[in-house]
């Protein structure tokens, strides 16, 4: 097997990219690596959401869900063939399908509510997921709950309210409350999916988890996709292939971050997604952030940077000899 320094980008671009990440971040503490990976996942998923927003204008959301995950599986097939199926054989097939079922159900609710509520409201509701993740990590994974994590998450959620608060009143006047509740139901489901992922990282490799997420979500999404199927254009096929690549990269970053530190330590970084989304909206859709969005973004970023520095300091300070 070639050493890190001898891997060629042309002969093996995936291994080259992973080695470059290792060379640039290998000297950092595990907590810092987890924070950087989680931030990278948020940015990648924001790019993915912007792409899916364009694709779902002409493709049914349930079909888009299936094509996005099946494209990710298609892109993983070369690795599966190269390394052999045994490399990705799971130790816990029940856990893989449990995780896939939770994620698929959350996606069904998410896509069903998406056309019926404002995008900003959807994003804000999704930011409640870290609260469920930290609670679940404390109850089921027995992870410690330091006060810094709760404070940063609470401040970040306040920043989200600043951004979307004025829009909720108008939304309620339009009788879309049931769709807001449906979107809110995705938060504990996504949280449960992330917690199962964290549990799986204890004895499954990152590659195995990624492959089986693509398999399970594709299989479980297929029936709803068939009911709403329309043949995509060449441009849409290319877009879904790109979405599969972005989704695979994003889930790699996210799953890898779970192996580096407690899952709760990276959840406050979820609020940075609002910053990424605002940037994508401005670049791709000419959306100009409101003053509420700017103020809320500052609050969110301040909370995120603060908890990141605290986590790094706590992980690197040696224990007392007393």
DSSP per-residue codes, 183-225: HHHHHHHHHHHHHHHHHHTTTS-HHHHHHHHHHHHHHHHHHHH
**299 vs 169 pLDDT, higher one:** 299
13 found inside a domain: no
pLDDT value, residue 320: 47
Could you tell me if 221 and 66 are in contact, meaning their C-beta atoms sit under 8 angstroms apart?
yes
Mean pLDDT across the stretch 136-158? 78
pLDDT in tens, 3-31: 444 544 444 444 545 565 566 566 677 77
**141 vs 14 pLDDT, higher one:** 141
Please state the domain count of the chain: 1
Confidence of residue 317 (pLDDT cuts 50, 70, 90): low
* Cα 80 from Cα 172, distance rounded (Å): 48
pLDDT in tens, 237-253: 999 999 988 988 887 88
pLDDT value, residue 4: 45
19 found inside a domain: no
300 found inside a domain: yes
266 found inside a domain: yes
Confidence of residue 184 (pLDDT cuts 50, 70, 90): confident
Please say if the pLDDT value at position 185 is more than 70: yes
106 found inside a domain: yes
DSSP label at residue 317: S
pLDDT in tens, 203-236: 888 888 889 999 999 999 999 999 999 999 999 9
**147 vs 28 pLDDT, higher one:** 147
Which residues, at least 6 apart from 142, have a Cβ–Cβ distance to it below 8 Å? none
Backbone angles phi, psi at 3, to 5 degrees: -75, 170
2 found inside a domain: no
220 found inside a domain: yes
pLDDT in tens, 34-75: 878 888 888 888 888 888 888 887 888 899 999 999 998 998
Domain ranges, residue 224: 60-314
pLDDT value, residue 118: 64
48 found inside a domain: no
């Amino acid at each position: 097997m070639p050493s890190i320094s001898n891997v060629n980008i042309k002969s093996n671009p995936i291994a080259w990219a992973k080695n470059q990440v290792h060379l640039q971040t290998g000297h950092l503490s595990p907590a810092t690596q987890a924070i950087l990976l989680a931030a990278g996942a948020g940015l990648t998923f924001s790019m993915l959401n912007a792409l899916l927003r364009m694709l779902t204008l002409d493709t049914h959301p349930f079909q888009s869900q299936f094509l996005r995950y099946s494209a990710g599986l298609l892109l993983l097939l070369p690795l599966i063939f190269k390394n052999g199926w045994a490399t990705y054989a799971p130790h816990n097939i029940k856990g893989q399908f449990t995780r896939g079922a939770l994620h698929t159900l959350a996606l069904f609710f998410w896509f069903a509510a998406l056309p019926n509520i404002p995008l900003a409201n959807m994003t804000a509701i999704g930011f409640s997921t870290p609260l469920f993740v930290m609670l679940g990590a404390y109850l089921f994974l027995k992870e410690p709950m330091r006060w810094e994590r709760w404070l940063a998450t609470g401040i970040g959620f306040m920043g989200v309210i600043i951004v979307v608060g004025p829009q909720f009143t108008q939304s309620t006047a339009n009788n879309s409350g049931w769709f807001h509740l449906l979107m809110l139901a995705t938060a504990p489901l996504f949280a449960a999916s992330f917690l199962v992922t964290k549990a799986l990282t204890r004895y499954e490799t990152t590659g195995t988890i990624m492959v089986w997420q693509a398999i399970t979500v594709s299989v479980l999404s297929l029936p709803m996709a068939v009911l709403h199927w329309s043949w995509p254009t060449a441009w849409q096929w290319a877009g879904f292939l790109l979405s599969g690549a972005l989704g695979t990269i994003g889930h790699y970053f996210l799953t890898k971050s779970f192996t580096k530190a407690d899952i709760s330590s990276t959840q406050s970084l979820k609020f940075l997604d609002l910053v990424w989304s605002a940037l994508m909206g401005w670049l791709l859709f000419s959306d100009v952030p409101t003053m509420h969005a700017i103020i809320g973004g500052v609050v969110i970023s301040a909370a995120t940077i603060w908890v990141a520095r605290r986590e790094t300091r706590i992980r690197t300070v040696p224990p007392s000899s007393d």
